[in-house]
Structures are given as structure tokens and as C-alpha cells.
Structure 1
Amino acid sequence: MRIAITGSTGLIGTALVRSLRAGGTSGAEGPGGGHDVVRLVRREPTAADEVRWDPKRGEIDTAGLAGCEAVVHLAGAGVGDHRWTAAYKQELYDSRVLGTRTLASALAAMDTPPKVFVCGSAIGYYGDTGDRRTDENAPAGRGFLPELCVAWEDAAQPARDAGIRTVFARTGLVVARSGGAWGRLFPLFRLGLGGRLGDGSQYWSFISLEDHIRALRHLIDTEALTGPVNLTAPEPVTNREVTAVMGRFLNRPTLFTVPAPVLRVALGEFAGDVLGSQRVVPRRLLDSGFTFHRPRIIEAVRAA
């Protein structure tokens, strides 16, 4: 299969490209040859597998996407990379909404569009869910992140209108060594500086990097799936439980606690989402037959 990917140099995109090119299925790697992967880049292409696009200006070389049966859209500025100033909020919005609109419109206009469009999204869609188990039937929450996710998904409407099967991968916290939330946690815990954030009672909906990549491939391959699909492990855990597992696994003390007021000073508005609770479960993923290799937090941390 010929598959196009945006955000191919990020944590998830890099792993997905590697997995697709290795061959196998969404359930396991194996023999049989890999997929033909096209990477969308925002600079002049320097390799045969690259196609240029400019998401903010609405420009894309659709000729380079000819023959693609699937497109996976992962590009977007990092939510936790900077304080949420007005300028960075606009960057978060533009990188997701304008990019998705550009890509969806271009795919819809192709003579032979792809069969499936997997569009990145996030469980931030639901806002703070407290200790309530939340699946894809839940409405959008309130606040900047939920509003961003709603606009992000709405921007894919041209693809849906064109009859392209469109799936929204609402991703949780990816457990990986070199990126995302855990990419920042591991160094702190190794130094013995890890600890609870706030009172630690807030739920974290995590997923191992391995299962996340397998789930994305499952979304590509499973024709019955359309609309939102939560990419999280079956049993979310509290920040207190995460802290205990990290300390036990790395054999380090976890005496430090970052009080909520300190987080608010350090992170600004983003602190509300760090301290917020999201107990999100992958109902549609499980109902479609997907099985997790690392469903528990200790297994995900060990793999990372």
C-alpha cells in the first residue's frame, strides 16, 4: 500500500514510518515486504519519498500523492512545548486547523482520492472528566484544548464530504523514552527528582508507543472504523500511581511534590490541563477487535 504521512519526523511519525516500511500487519511485524511511504515536508524535498506542502498557505503538491490509498496526518505544534501566550495559542490553532483543512481539501479534489484519512486529534477534546470513565460518545469539554480539538476535527470535513473514510485518532499520553510527556519525566525520575503533580489524584490516560503505532495501523486497515477513536490503554491510572511505578521501576525516591500553585506559576494556563483529570477509555478500538500488547502502565514504562 502507498501511504502518505505528515509529521513524519516527530516521535509518533518516525515510529510509524519505520513500522510501515518494515512490513507486517497492524497486529505484528513480519515478512512480506513493507509499504511505500510518502513523507509530506514543509521545505524543498531532498529525497525521492518527500512531497512538499505548506499547510498555512494552503499549498500542497497533490501530484506527489497520486496512488496513495491512505493518508495519516500527524503534524502540529507541541501543546506543552511553550507557555500558552496568545501568539503560541494561535500557532497551535494554525498548525492543526489550517493544516488539516489544507490536506482534507486537497485530498477531496483529487481525481482518485485515498480510501482513508487518519487525522490526528487528542483526548483533550473531552476536557476535565474527573474520575468518570469516558468513551467516544462523550461530548466536547470546555476550555482552549477542547475548542481546539473540535475545530481540528471539523477542518477535516472536506474529506468526509468527498466520501473518504475519515478517522480521528484521539491520542492520550504516549509513553516513550525520547519524546512526549514521558520524555520529560524519565530524566527527572532518574535524578531522583520525580514526584506527584498537585495531589496526584488526577487520571492520566496513557498508551505505549508500540500500541499507539499498532493502533494507527489498525485504523488504516479496519474499514468499519470511522469518526473518533480513542487511542489510550484500557485502564487509565492516576498521577500518584504513575509516580509510584516510575520510582519503583527506576529504583529512585519519589519524595518531591509539585504543588498546584507552583505549576500554575511555571506553566501558566497549561497547568490547568496538567492538573486536570482524564479517565478516557478506548471503547471503539476494543470493540473493533484491537488487542493491546502493553495494556498496563508498568508494561508501558518497562518497554520505554
Structure 2
Amino acid sequence: MRIAVTGSTGLIGSALVRSLLADGHEVLRLVRRRSLVGVRADGTTGVGWNPHRLEIDAAGLEGVEAVVHLAGAGVGDRRWTESYKREIRDSRVLGTETVAAALARLKQPPRVLVSASAVGYYGQTGDRVIDEDAPPGDDFLARVCVEWEAAARPAADAGIRVVHPRTGLVLSAAGGAAGRMVPLFRLGLGGRLGSGEQYWSIIALADEVAALRFLIDQKEMSGPVNLTGPHPVTNRELTEAFGRVLGRPTPFPVPTAALRAVLGEMAVEVVGSHRVVPDRLLAAGFRFRYPDADGAVRAALAR
């Protein structure tokens, strides 16, 4: 299959590309630098785009059968200044508008667009169990996610099957939020964040990649699909899982006030609670390799 991927150098995108190449698929990477356009040493092909200018080499996408759109500025990469909040929003909304409009204009559009979203769509939900039927929240990330998903409408209007994987906290030592936590836990300096009672909807990186590929192949699936493990855990429970797997103490809690001082507005996401479950994924027959916290942590640390 010929598959195009945006965000192909990120944590999820790079793992997805490796998985697709290993199974013999042809992969096109959407890239911003002209020097990366064309056939690359890893066997992928670079196709140029500039999402902030709504520009893309549509001709380079002719013949693709599936597109996985993952690009977006990292939510936890920098403190949330007003300018960086605009970057978080624009990198997602403008990028999705660019991809969706280009695919809609192709002579032979792809069969499916898997266009990323996040569990932040639901806002802060406390200890309530949330599935795909829940309404959106009203905080910053929830509003971004609503716009993000809506930006893919041109592709759906053109008859392309559009799926929105609402991803939770991806566990991997290679990057992301969990990747920054792992060194502390290895040193025995880890601990709960805030009260520790907030729910985190986690998913192992291997399961995230497998689920994305599952969505490409499942011809009847469209719309929102939660990509989280089947058993959300509290921050305290995840902290304890890291301690058990590593055989290290986890004695150093970080007070909520300290998180707010360091992280600013983004602290809301750290101490906030998302108890999201993957009902549609499970109903479609997807099987998790690492359904519980200990297994997901072991998988993260093994890479």
C-alpha cells in the first residue's frame, strides 16, 4: 500500500513509519525542507509542504491509498505563552486544512485519512468514564481539538473515509511526556504529580502504532476513535507501576502549586483528569498487547 504520513519524525510518526516499512509498504513523508524532498536513504519519499502557508505538493500525493496526518506542535514542548498557544492551534488546524483540501482535489483521492486528535477533546472529566459519545470540553485544548477535527471536513465531503484517533498519553522512553519522566524514575527520584488522583488515559507506543494501522484497514470505521488503553489509571497508580517495574522508590511528590509555578497554564493538563476508554476500538475487535499499566511501562522501558 502507498501511504503518506505527516509528523513522520515525531515519536508516533517515526514508529509508524518503521512499522509500515518493515511490512513492505511504500511510505511518503510530508516534509518542510526542500533538501528532504525526493527518495530518501531509508526508502521513503519526501513530498514537500508548508502548512502555515497552506501549501502542499498535491501532485506528489497522487496514487496514495491512505494518509496518516499526525503533525502538530508539541503540547508539552514549551511553556504556554499566548504565542505558543497560537502555534499549538495553528500547526494542527492549518495543517489539517492543507492536507484535507489537497486530498479532496486529487484525481484519485485516497480511501482513508486518519487525522489525529487527542483525548483533550473532552476537557477535564474527573473520575467519570468517557467514551466517544461524550461532548467536547471548553478549555483551551478541547477547543483546539474541535477545530482540529472540523478542519478535515473537505476530505470527508469528497467521499474520503476520515477517522479521528483521539490519542491519550503515549508511553515510551524514546520521547513524549513519559520519555521525560523515565530518567527520574530510573534514578529513584520519581513521584506522583499533584494529588496523584487524576486519571491518565495511557497507551503503549506499540499499541498506538498497531491501532493506527488497524484504523487504516477497518473499512467501516470513521469519525472519532479513542486511542487509549482499556484501563485508565491514576497518576499515583502509574507512578507505582514505574516503581515496581524499575525496582525504585517513588518518594518525591510534586505539589500542584509547584507545577503551576513551573508550567503555568499547562499545569491544568498535568493535574487534570481524563478517564477515557476505547469503546469503539474494542468493539471493532482490536486487541491490546499491553492493556495494563505494568505491561505498558515494561514496554516503554524495553525500547
Question: Residue type matched to 1:275 in 2?
Answer: V
Matched, 1:21 2:39: no
- Counterpart in 1 of 2:95? 99
2:169 aligned with 1:173: yes
The aligned counterpart of 1:196 is: 192
Out of 51, 60, 65, the residue aligned to residue 64 of structure 1 is 60
* Structure 1 pair 115–46 and aligned structure 2 pair: CA distance change class (3 A): closer
Task: Kindly tell me the number of residue pairs found equivalent between the two proteins.
Answer: 294
Stretch moving more, 77-86 or 40-49: 40-49
Give me the whole-angstrom Cα distance separating, in 2, the residues matched to 1:260 and 1:175.
22
**Alignment partner of 1:43 out of 30, 33, 36:** 33
In structure 2, the CA distance between the partners of 1:46 and 1:67, relative to structure 1 (3 Å rule), is: closer
CA distance in 2, matches of 1:144, 1:182: 22
Note the alpha carbon deviations across 1:26-70, whole angstroms, 9 max, x for none. xxxxxxxx1111000011034411100000101111111111010
Report deviation, 1:250: 1.1
Distance in 1 between residues matched to 2:248 and 2:137, nearest whole Å: 36
Which residue in the other structure is 1:9 paired with? Answer: 9
Structure 1 match to 2:42: none
Q: Tell me how far apart the structure 2 counterparts of residues 186 and 4 of structure 1 sit (CA, whole Å).
A: 31
8 Å contact kept, 2:31–2:37:
no
Q: How does 1:1-304 map to 2 (within 5 A)?
A: 1-23=1-23, 34-44=24-34, 45-48=36-39, 49-304=45-300
Q: Which residue identity lines up with residue 29 of structure 2 in the other structure? A: R
2-structure distance, mates of 1:82, 1:71: 28
RMSD after superposition = 0.7
| Alpha-carbon separation, structure 2, partners of 1:246 and 1:61 | 44
Work out the CA distance in 1 between the residues paired with 2:238 and 2:231: 12
> How far apart are the structure 2 equivalents of 1:192 and 1:292?
29
Secondary structure of 2:117's aligned partner = strand
Shift in Å, 1:248: 1.5
Measured in 1, the distance between the counterparts of 2:38 and 2:110 equals 22
Q: Separation in 1 of the partners of 2:105 and 2:61?
A: 12
Offset of residue 252 of structure 1: 1.4
- Residue 207 of structure 1 aligns to a residue whose secondary structure is strand
Amino acid at match of 1:6: T
Letter in 2 for 1:35: H
Q: Give the match's secondary structure for 2:116.
A: strand
Name the amino acid aligned to 2:248.
R
Whole-Å separation in 2 of the counterparts to 1:73 and 1:8: 9
Asked if the contact 2:117/2:148 (under 8 Å) is kept, the reply is yes
1:13 and 1:248 mapped to 2: Cα distance? 29
Secondary structure at 2:16 match in 1: helix
CA distance in 2, matches of 1:105, 1:63: 13
1:264 partner letter: R
Q: CA deviation at 1:244?
A: 0.7
**Residues 180-225 of structure 1: per-residue CA shift (max 9 Å, x gap):** 1110110111122100101100001000000000000000000110
* Separation (CA, whole Å) in 1 of partners of 2:89 and 2:123: 17
Secondary structure of residue in 1 paired with 2:96 = helix
Q: Residue 12 of structure 2 aligns to a residue in which SS?
A: helix
Work out the CA distance in 2 between the residues paired with 1:56 and 1:101: 10
Q: Distance in 2 between matches of 1:114 and 1:47?
A: 20
Structure 1 unaligned regions, length at least 5: 24-33
Partner of 2:296, secondary structure, is: helix
TM-score for both structures, normalised by structure 1: 0.96
- What residue number does 1:30 align with? none
Give, as a single letter, the amino acid of the residue that structure 1 aligns with 2:209: I
Aligned partners of 1:67, 1:162: CA distance in 2, in Å?
16
